[in-house]
Amino acid sequence: MNMSRLLFLTLLRYVTLFSAFLLSAQTYAQFLPDFTQLVEQSAPAIVNVRIRSTIAGDNSFDDFDGDREELEEFLEFFGDRFPDGFDMGERQSASLGSGFIISEDGYIVTNHHVIDGADEITITLNDQRQYTAEIIGSDPRSDLALIKIEAEGLPTVPFGDVEDVKVGQWVLAIGSPFNLSHSVATGIVSFVGRSLPSQITGQGNYVSFIQTDVAINPGHSGGPLFNLAGEVIGVNSQIYSNSGGSIGLSFAIPVDIAANVVSQLMQSGNVSRGWMGVAIADVTQEQANTYNLPTPKGAFVNDVLPGGPAETAGFRAEDIILSYDGDEIRNSADLPYHVGLSLPGSEVNVELIRNGRLENIRMLVGDLDAASNQQQIQLGVIEPIENSLGLSVTELSETEKQRLGLDHGLRVSEVTGAVAVKAGLQKGDIILSLNGRDLDSVNDLTEINASLPADSPLPLLVERDGQQSFFTIMLDG
């Protein structure tokens, strides 16, 4: 083979490979969505929400929003402390977020936390027109707010169906991150039905979030999350981040909750929620085995509150709720979400396991706000009782003690610290005694915990899977 023929064949090979690469790239591109039309249609209905609020005067810089270098120079001048009698005085603060128009006459949806405490709300439209908005109503439990501007003929966006939202589908957000108005970000749905702890949301478990990897940042709050049809399927509300910026974990309030809340706010300015009156926890593996459940699913009823809808309907401690009004209850956090969506006074069917048998109970839904006015109620997972042992515990019901053949004990609901982890304790363990003293109530543990010696091995009698064993735990000195 001569040199010219070899060069020709080599060149032909590279041309073939390059052509194949271009063809595969073009084929791949055919499967990627084109968002341009969606943005052109939807962007005019997205607004920038800017609020002004008043911060009371004090001698603390916790809420300082001025120039950081000037602050450091100021502190250096005064020896890193305030001069005696110094007070910053009452001052103005500004913050921003996003929102979207849902009616031609100016109703706008945004987050509660965006407009909370606002003295003045300024709305800037896509065409740069500005309006002052009034608050129609705001709901901290769902982090949603409805505001209104005086205008006519405004562009709007439609609501979609949350039942059509699937993990892996493309979604798009439009908002004002860091005040960069009408910025577009895309990604996929990474989880549907994400329940976040109330310590993160500050709202309780009344929202089952849509989780995405869309680059949501400060200023996006209150803006819409779209599907490819240009329908709003969620309201961007939360991000998970150590830095304050996006790390690919963002959470949107599903459109069914938004539609429910907005409708009530538009009609009355406030939101009514259903109430059941039970204290619940996740089902443990031990409980699943006891009641012949294939997996630990559902909401385990620890207690039924006296006089509540659940007691009236005939619920009992140790019932395991599997579905509520036709919706599956996968874990205890699902129940408050579905109950909260129920209208007070409506009748629902609840499917449960009782003594190993499947049963159905009809219940008349109560009113959460009315119940909260009478007594302090939390519908959801029992608040963990934490201590220096590094664990959270709940008390055993009398029925549970009888079933387990115990006359005392505390169940470990969560292992929260290194002390308990080192000792080998696990969620679901039942602690019978600590340092030789029996445990039967949270008060027992609190009292004993206050007098425990540090740097000394302490015996724990624990029941796990029907077997009792001693563990040794040592507090940090």
Burial status of residue 338 (CB atoms within 10 A of its CB: 0-12, 13-18, 19 or more): buried
pLDDT in tens, 180-232: 888 999 999 999 988 775 544 444 567 889 999 999 998 999 999 999 999 99
From 219, 243, 268, give the residue that closes a domain.
268
Residue 4: inside a domain, yes or no? no
100 touches 46 (CB < 8 A): yes
Please report where in the chains the tokens 């959801």 appear, as a residue: 380
The backbone torsions φ and ψ at residue 318, rounded to the nearest 5 degrees and listed phi first, read 80, 0
Instruction: Please report, as a single letter, which amino acid is at residue 316.
Output: R
222 touches 99 (CB < 8 A): yes
With both helix axes pointing from N to C terminus, report the angle between 334-341 and 255-268 in degrees, rounded to the nearest 10: 40
From 349, 381, 413, give the residue that closes a domain.
381
Q: Is 190 a catalytic residue?
A: no
CA distance 103 to 100: 9
Please report where in the chains the tokens 């029996």 appear, as a residue: 438
Please tell me whether residue 200 adopts helix, strand or coil conformation: helix
Write down the catalytic residue from 143, 213, 303, 319: 143
Taking residue 434's Cβ as centre, other Cβ atoms within 10 Å add up to: 21
CATH number (domain holding residue 201): 2.40.10.10
Q: Are residues 466 and 432 in the same domain?
A: yes
Q: Are residues 298 and 366 in the same domain?
A: yes
Q: Are residues 301 and 225 in the same domain?
A: no
pLDDT in tens, 47-95: 999 998 876 555 555 545 455 445 444 444 333 444 555 555 565 667 7
Range of the domain at 447: 385-473
- C-alpha distance from residue 164 to each of 167, 169, 175, 191 (Å): 10, 10, 23, 13
Q: Is 182 a catalytic residue?
A: no
Residue 166: inside a domain, yes or no? yes
Q: What predicted TM-score, i.e. pTM, was given to this entire model?
A: 0.65
> pLDDT tens digits for the chain (477 residues)?
566 666 666 666 766 666 665 555 455 556 678 999 999 999 999 999 999 887 655 555 554 545 544 544 444 433 344 455 555 556 566 778 999 999 999 999 999 999 998 999 999 999 999 999 999 999 988 999 999 999 999 999 999 998 899 999 999 999 999 888 889 999 999 999 887 755 444 445 678 899 999 999 989 999 999 999 999 999 999 887 666 677 888 999 999 999 999 999 999 888 988 999 888 888 888 888 888 888 999 999 888 888 899 999 999 988 999 999 999 999 888 898 899 889 899 999 999 999 889 999 999 999 987 776 554 333 333 333 445 677 778 888 776 787 777 888 888 887 777 777 777 888 888 888 887 788 888 777 777 766 666 666 677 788 887 777 777 777 654
Please tell me whether residue 354 adopts helix, strand or coil conformation: strand
Q: Are residues 347 and 279 in the same domain?
A: yes
Write down the catalytic residue from 42, 98, 112, 113: 113
Write down the catalytic residue from 95, 138, 183, 221: 221
Total domains in the chain come to 4
Burial status of residue 445 (CB atoms within 10 A of its CB: 0-12, 13-18, 19 or more): buried
Q: Is 221 a catalytic residue?
A: yes
Residue 454: inside a domain, yes or no? yes
Residue 22: inside a domain, yes or no? no
278-282 and 380-381 beta bridge pairing? parallel
Q: Are residues 342 and 262 in the same domain?
A: no
From 329, 346, 381, give the residue that closes a domain.
381
The backbone torsions φ and ψ at residue 452, rounded to the nearest 5 degrees and listed phi first, read -75, 135
Q: Are residues 414 and 465 in the same domain?
A: yes
Q: Are residues 329 and 407 in the same domain?
A: no
Residue 262: inside a domain, yes or no? yes
CATH number (domain holding residue 396): 2.30.42.10
Residue 233: inside a domain, yes or no? yes
Residue 389: inside a domain, yes or no? yes
